[in-house]
Amino acid sequence: MRITGVSTRVVDAGDRDWVFVRVQTDEPGLIGWGEASLGWHTRAVTGAVADLEPLLVGQDPRPVERLWQLMSRAPYFKGGIVVMSAISGIDQALWDIKAKALGIPLFELLGGPVRDRVRAYVNLGSELGGGTKCSEGSARAARAAREAGFDAMKVYPMAPARPLEGAAELHRAADLVAAVREAAGHDADIMVDLHGRTTPAVAISLGRMLEPMRPYFLEEPCQPGDVDALAEVARAIPIPVAAGERLVTAQEFRQLVERRACAVIQPNICYCGGITQIRRLAALAEPSLVSIAPHNPNGPIGTMVSVHVALAVSNFLILELVRDDVPWRSEVVDWHVEVRDGYVLPPSRPGIGYPEDVALPGGHPAEDTAG
């Protein structure tokens, strides 16, 4: 079996694009799919996929680790998040091919299920059509999430903050989280995402105010890349800290874990290096009792891959699940995650779950890009 081509398929999904990666083999009907979506960097990612294609054509797709090392080490200059996104999508497609060739779901190839289902949470910013910052709207979205069967949800209470915020802004943010807590009930888990919008000083002040609302974790309290700042927040508040959605290298995650700067890491399968790398990151975190909660605002392929990984990784905690970013999300592919009572059920199809071709809904901007 040999790789005969690598291409990308772009779908305009509103405020960001989905970049699907297609790896073709010389076996009739055997195609691998992956996702390399990286918000607002579509052309850069598709170009990076095209740059990697010559390394892969003619290769056997099944020794995935060898090909991952080839893509990440053969080029003389190291790539950043754009190149790692391209590698991520190709890597997923290679795993997809291997699992399809064996006739088994991907999670079985990853060691088999550690759990029978995957706990998921919904994003209240998405539920509100882009992140309304009002207590009434957030409470309404929280009630809708509970009615849909979810007992976990994420809220975004802060706009980009000044180096120090006064009492009025801090109380406004705390009141929003309190409204979500009241609407969701005492038995719900509420994640608070600061999106890197606060300094350590502001994050610590707000974290202490949020303690009575018992957040499940406080996500990205300061900008990524400053491990000292993150560790400062983690040591100052009683709320577990989560971070890592914008990081891509094992070295970056190792620093978070070694400094105990967070209790939860959040790599994204579409730009952290794919399945091959996210398994390493989970293994890196596990001995330090750090959990993994994959960042997943991704399209349908990246979401399904995240589900497979979540089933097979022992220190998995919870998965972000986007349902309503575009009204035609369900039309893009012929199969979707099955959710019951806030949990995603195990996929049953071979590989990731998508056959030879992925449907594209008529009337929605899309582009096929040959590698």
Q: Which two three-digit tokens encode residue 239?
A: 């709320």
pTM greater than the 0.75 cutoff: yes
Interatomic CA distance for residues 169 and 279, integer angstroms: 40
Q: Which CATH class is domain 3-103+355-370?
A: alpha beta
Which pLDDT tens digit goes with each residue over 138-170? 999 999 999 999 999 999 999 888 899 999 999
Whether 171 is catalytic is no
Q: Residue 39 carries which side chain, given as an amino acid letter?
A: G
Q: Which of 41, 295, 336, 364 is catalytic?
A: 295
Q: How do residues 249-305 score in pLDDT, each as one tens digit?
A: 999 999 999 999 999 999 999 999 999 999 999 999 999 999 999 999 999 999 999
φ, ψ of residue 316 to 5 degrees: the values are -65, 140
Q: Is 131 exposed, middle or buried (0-12, 13-18, 19+ CB in 10 A)?
A: middle
Give the type of residue at 181: R
Q: How many CB atoms lie within 10 A of CB 60?
A: 13
Q: Does the annotation mark 308 as catalytic?
A: no
Q: Is 10 helix (H, G, I), strand (E, B) or coil?
A: strand
CATH superfamily, domain at 109-344: Enolase-like C-terminal domain (3.20.20.120)
pLDDT for residue 359 is more than 60: no
Q: Provide the residue ranges of all domains of the chain, joining segments of one domain with +.
A: 3-103+355-370, 109-344
Identify the pLDDT of residue 134. 83
Confidence band of 371 (pLDDT split at 50, 70, 90): very low
pLDDT of residue 131: 43
How far, CA to CA in Å, does 332 sit from each of 67, 121, 328? 29, 22, 7
Closest CA to 298 of 263, 267, 277, 334: 267
Q: What burial class does residue 46 get, using C-beta atoms within 10 Å of its C-beta: 0-12 exposed, 13-18 middle, 19+ buried?
A: buried
Q: Which of 41, 195, 308, 364 is catalytic?
A: 195
Closest by CA to 87, choosing from 55, 116, 58, is 55
